[in-house]
Chain A
Amino acid sequence: MKHGRGGRTSSGSGTAGVKQGFYTGRWSYWTLVLPILALIAMFFYIPVALAFFWSLFLERPFGGGSEFVGFQNYDRVLSDPEFWNAMWRTLIFMAIAPTLAIGLSLILALAADRGIRISQAARNIIIWPKAVAGASIGVVFVFIFNPFLGIFAPLNEMYPGIWNPRIDGGDAFATLVVAQVWNGIPFNFIILLSGLQAIPDGLAKAAAMDGSGPWRRIVDLQLPLLTPQLFLTFVLEFVGTVVEAFGLIDTMTQGGPGGATNLLIYKIYVDGFKAYDLSGAATQTALLMMFVIAMVILQFRLERFVKYER
C-alpha cells in the first residue's frame, strides 16, 4: 500500500513512530489501549489461561472436587485415536479449504481487475455473500446438497445412492469444504482486488510495451506485488478454517455422519458442553491453541518471501 500509514513512519519502528506521532502523554495512550486490552483479557487471555489450568485437573462439571492429575489428561487425549482423527481431518480441511478459497478469489480478482465486461458489476456482487452469517450459509447448503431435492438429485435418479452427504462421509466433507470456500471468497476477493488495484498502472503498461502478454504479467508482475495481500488472506484463512468452521459444522452435519466432519473445534464443543468433560475439552483447547500458534509462527517465518516494498 503505497500511501498507507507505513509511509508516515517509514524511518523508525512502528511503535516508536506511533508514540511520537499521536500520543505524547503516557496516560492518553494507556486510557485508549486499556479498554480493548481488558476486553481481550476477559474474552481471550483469561479463558485460555483457565483452559491450560483446567487441563491439569480432573474437573467435576458442577465444581466442588477437582483433582490435580498432572499431565494425565494430555496422556489420555494424545493416546485417543478420536483426537488424532479429528486433528487429521482439521489438517486436511486446512489444506483444501484455504487453497480453494484463495485460488478462486484470486482468479475472480484478476478477472475483475482486468476491466472485462461486467467486471464493474461483479466487483459489487461478489462481495454480497460477506453479509451472510456462517450458520445461515450452513442451512442453505444443506438444502442445496439435499440428496433428494438438491442440485444433485437428478444424478441420484440416474445412479441411486451416488450422492448422499447424510450417509457418505466424503460427500459430507466435500459439502463442508464448498460451504467454507463460498463463505471465504468475498473477503479474500476484496483484499486481493484492492491489492491488484493498488499496483501502479505504469508497471503493467511498461511490461506490455516490452511485449509481455497477460499471463506473463500475472506471473512476473502482479503476483509478486500481491504477496502482502496473499499472505494476509492465507494467515486469516488458516486460522479461520480452524475456528470458524464451527458454525457450518453445527448447522450442516453436527460432525457426522459417523464423525466424518468432526473437526477438532467441534469435538471440543461437544466434549465440553454436551458431554460435561471439562478437563478433556480444556486439554484439547490447550493443544489446539498450541497448534494454531505453531501454524502462525510458521507462516510468519514465510513472511520473508513477502515483498512489502513497491
Chain B
Amino acid sequence: MTKLSFAACATAFLAGASSAHAAEIEFWYGNTGKIEEAIQTHCAAFNDAQSDHKITCVGQGGYEAGMQKAIAAYRSAQHPVLIQFFDAGTLDLMLSDAVVPVQEIMPDAPWDDYINGARSYYETSSGDLFSQPYNGSTLIFYANMEVLREAGIEEVPQSWEGVMDAARQLKAAGVECPFTSDAHPWRVLEQFSARHGAPIATNNNGYGGLDAEYTFNEGPVADHMLNLSKWREEGLVKLDQDTVAGKYNAAFNAGECAMMEASTGSYGAAYAALGDKVRITMAPMYEGVERRNTLIGGAAIWVMKGHDGADYEAAISFLNFVRDEDQQIEFTRRTGYMPVTKAALASLVASGKADTLEFATAEMGVASLNQPGDENSRGIRLGFYVQFREVFKEETQKAFNGDQTMQAALDNAVSRGNELLRRFEQTYRGVKLP
C-alpha cells in the first residue's frame, strides 16, 4: 500500500482509520441477461459473507456503454471504485491515468496463478497484472455431429485443411452452409494470429511501444483472409449476411450451418438448441504451424483512482472474494465463462465435474489459453483498437461484397489503422507504456 502515493495521502488524511473501517462501494459491469444475474449473485454473496463492507453492483447495459459512462463519470468525479472493462479497451485504460494497477494495490495476491492467456493480455510489459481477469472466454470450434455423420464425417476436423475437406464433403451431400463465421476481427484476426504465432503489428503487437505499425496485410493472416473469401465464393463458408438466420451462431444453433468458430460463451445456447449433437474442439490451425495460446476474451475488473483508503480495502476484499475457487466455479457454472486461475481449474477437475455439460468448455478453453505462448500471442496492445475493429470490419465487408479485392481491403485497413495508431501516439505523447 505504501507504494500508492494517493492512497498514502488519503490514509494520512483519515489518520486513525482502522483496517476494519467499513465502506460502501460500487462496481459497474457491462454484461446483461444470464451473466448479469451471475454477477449480481457474486455481489449478494459478498455482502452476505462479511459485514465490514457493502458492495452495490450496477449494470450498464453493455461493455461499450459501460466504458462511455465510466469516461463521463470519471470526468465529473462520480466514478465507482471497481469497474469491468472489455479486452479491446485495455490500452486506452492503461494509459488513461484513471486506474490503479491491481498488482500495485494488492501485491500479495497469487497473480502467478492466473492462466497464461489471461495474464498476458492484462499485464504490463514488465509482467505485472494491471487488472484482475474476471469473465474469461476464448475461441473454439463447434461442429454439429449429426449433420457431419450424414455426410460421412466421423471426426471433428482439427486443421483448416481438414475443415475445408469436410466442408466440401458436406456441400456435396447437400448441406447449404458447411461452415459459418461472422469474420469479426476477434475471430479472424486476433485469435487467428495469436494461435498461429503471427504478429498483426510490429513491436510484438504493441507491447514494445506506441510506435507499432500494423503488418497483417502480408503473411498468415492475409493468406487466411484470402482463403476465407475464396472459400465463400466456393460456397463452403457463409457469413452472417449469407445465412437465413442472419447471425452465424443463430444459424449454427438452428441447424442451418454444420460448423462454426465461436466463443466458449456460445456453448450454452448451442447445447440448449442441439443437445449432444454439438461437439467442440480447439480452434483449427493450418497444417505445419505450431499451436500457440489463444487470447482471452470477455473482461477484467479494474480499480479506479480517486477514492479513499477504506474504499480500496473494500475493493480488495471483493477482488479476493471473486478469485475464490468456489466462487469462480459457481460463476463458470452459471455463465459458461471459464475459470481464470489454475487453482480454480484444478479444483474443478478434482471435483470430477469438469466433464459434465455445465463445465464442458472450461477445460478445453483453459487448455487453449494455456498453450505455449510466444511474443506474438501475448495479446493486443494497440491504441484506438475498438475503432480499428470497425475499420477492419468495414474494409473486409467491402471485399466480401465484391466492391474491392481482399488484398486491397487488408491494405486499406492497415493504412487506416496506422493513422489511428499515429494519432493515438500523439494523443498520449510523453506517456510511457507501462
Contact of B394 among A146, A164, A258, A276 (CB under 8 A): A258
Task: Say yes or no: B244 contacts A148, CB within 8 Å.
Answer: yes
Task: Say yes or no: A167 contacts B401, CB within 8 Å.
Answer: yes
Closest approach, in angstroms, between the C-beta of A277 and any C-beta of chain B? Answer: 6
Task: Say yes or no: B427 contacts A58, CB within 8 Å.
Answer: yes
Stretch at the interface among B90-98, B109-117, B120-128: B90-98
Task: Mark each residue of chain B from 227 to 238: 1 if its CB lies under 8 Å from any CB of chain A, else 0.
Answer: 000000000000
Q: Which residue of B lies closest to A270 (CB)?
A: B390
**Those of A256-285 within 8 Å (CB) of chain B:** 256-259, 262, 270-271, 273-277, 279
State the CA gap A279–B423 with chains docked (Å): 11
Contact of B390 among A60, A65, A274 (CB under 8 A): A274
Task: Say yes or no: B423 contacts A76, CB within 8 Å.
Answer: yes
Task: Say yes or no: A65 contacts B241, CB within 8 Å.
Answer: no
Contact A273 to B68, CB < 8 A, known contacts A62-B74, A62-B75, A258-B401: yes
Chain A: residues with Cβ within 8 Å of the partner, total of: 33
State the CA gap A80–B244 with chains docked (Å): 36
A63 touches B (CB below 8 Å): yes
Residues of B within 8 A of A270 (CB): 387, 390
B240 touches A (CB below 8 Å): yes
A166 touches B (CB below 8 Å): yes
Task: Say yes or no: B241 contacts A164, CB within 8 Å.
Answer: yes
Contact A257 to B241, CB < 8 A, known contacts A62-B71, A277-B384: yes
Q: Which residue of B lies closest to A58 (CB)?
A: B427
Task: Say yes or no: A258 contacts B398, CB within 8 Å.
Answer: yes
Closest approach, in angstroms, between the C-beta of A116 and any C-beta of chain B? Answer: 42
Task: Say yes or no: B71 contacts A276, CB within 8 Å.
Answer: yes
Residues of B within 8 A of A17 (CB): none
A113 touches B (CB below 8 Å): no
Please classify the interface of chain A as helix (H, G, I), strand (E, B), loop, or mixed, using the class held by over half of its residues.
loop
Closest approach, in angstroms, between the C-beta of A54 and any C-beta of chain B? Answer: 12
B386 touches A (CB below 8 Å): yes
B403 touches A (CB below 8 Å): yes
B64 touches A (CB below 8 Å): yes
State the CA gap A169–B75 with chains docked (Å): 39
Task: Say yes or no: A275 contacts B386, CB within 8 Å.
Answer: yes
Residues of B within 8 A of A168 (CB): 401
Residues of B within 8 A of A149 (CB): 244
Interface hub of A60, A61, A67, A257 (most chain B Cβ within 10 A): A61
Closest approach, in angstroms, between the C-beta of B210 and any C-beta of chain A? Answer: 13
B397 touches A (CB below 8 Å): yes
Task: Say yes or no: B246 contacts A259, CB within 8 Å.
Answer: no
Task: Say yes or no: B384 contacts A276, CB within 8 Å.
Answer: yes
Interface hub of A167, A168, A169, A262 (most chain B Cβ within 10 A): A167
Closest approach, in angstroms, between the C-beta of A71 and any C-beta of chain B? Answer: 15
B431 touches A (CB below 8 Å): yes
Task: Mark each residue of chain A from 157 to 181: 1 if its CB lies under 8 Å from any CB of chain B, else 0.
Answer: 0000000101111000000000000
Residues of B within 8 A of A273 (CB): 64, 68
Contact A61 to B96, CB < 8 A, known contacts A168-B401, A169-B401, A270-B390: yes
Residues of A within 8 A of B75 (CB): 62-63
Residues of B within 8 A of A60 (CB): 95-96, 427-428
Closest approach, in angstroms, between the C-beta of B392 and any C-beta of chain A? Answer: 12
Task: Mark each residue of chain A from 132 to 160: 1 if its CB lies under 8 Å from any CB of chain B, else 0.
Answer: 00000000000000101100000000000
Closest approach, in angstroms, between the C-beta of A49 and any C-beta of chain B? Answer: 17
A202 touches B (CB below 8 Å): no
Closest approach, in angstroms, between the C-beta of B410 and any C-beta of chain A? Answer: 14
Q: Which residue of A lies closest to B400 (CB)?
A: A167
Task: Say yes or no: B387 contacts A276, CB within 8 Å.
Answer: yes
Residues of A within 8 A of B429 (CB): 67
Task: Say yes or no: B387 contacts A274, CB within 8 Å.
Answer: yes
Residues of A within 8 A of B423 (CB): 58, 76, 277
Closest approach, in angstroms, between the C-beta of A29 and any C-beta of chain B? Answer: 34
State the CA gap A167–B400 with chains docked (Å): 8
Q: Which residue of A lies closest to B396 (CB)?
A: A258
A4 touches B (CB below 8 Å): no
Closest approach, in angstroms, between the C-beta of A66 and any C-beta of chain B? Answer: 9
B242 touches A (CB below 8 Å): yes
Given A60-B96, A62-B96, A63-B75: 17 more A-B contacts, CB < 8 Å: A60-B427, A61-B96, A63-B74, A67-B427, A167-B241, A167-B400, A256-B393, A258-B401, A259-B394, A259-B397, A271-B387, A273-B64, A273-B68, A274-B390, A276-B92, A276-B384, A276-B387
